[in-house]
Amino acid sequence: MTALRAHEPYLRGAPPNLPFEWSSATIRRGLNFTLTTTIGDIDLLGEITGGGGYEDLLPHSIVVDLFGHECRCLDLPWLIKTKRAAGRPRDLEAIAELEALLEEPE
């Protein structure tokens, strides 16, 4: 791991020497980014299978505070819907847990 990778987000699964500029210009030009950071993996998705783009998903999102920043996340019903649509084994495994959370009283 290079010194740069120890401190800045980098593309998960990319070769270590792949040039990548972490900037707002890069984010504006891309659609989906899967990153590894010092606090863990994060996916920045401009479009989600079974859900669409930002404007489609906005009515089905909630605002949460993450490390002092407001972030939008899908509400549980739509998170379940998109995981079911993606159909990946790890998503299908998570659906039962998410449905249990959905049934818990607040």
With b for 16 or more beta-carbon neighbours within 10 A and e for fewer, the 53-92 pattern comes to eeeebeebeeeeeeeeeeeeebebebbbbbbeeeeeeebe
Do 31 and 61 fall within a single domain? no
pTM confidence score: 0.70
Range of the domain at 17: 1-45
Do 66 and 94 fall within a single domain? yes
Do 72 and 106 fall within a single domain? yes
Domains identified in the chain, total number: 2
Do 101 and 56 fall within a single domain? yes
pLDDT digits (tens, 9 = 90+) for 1-40: 444 455 678 888 888 778 888 888 988 898 999 888 888 8
Do 7 and 35 fall within a single domain? yes
Cβ-contact 97, 79 below 8 angstroms: no
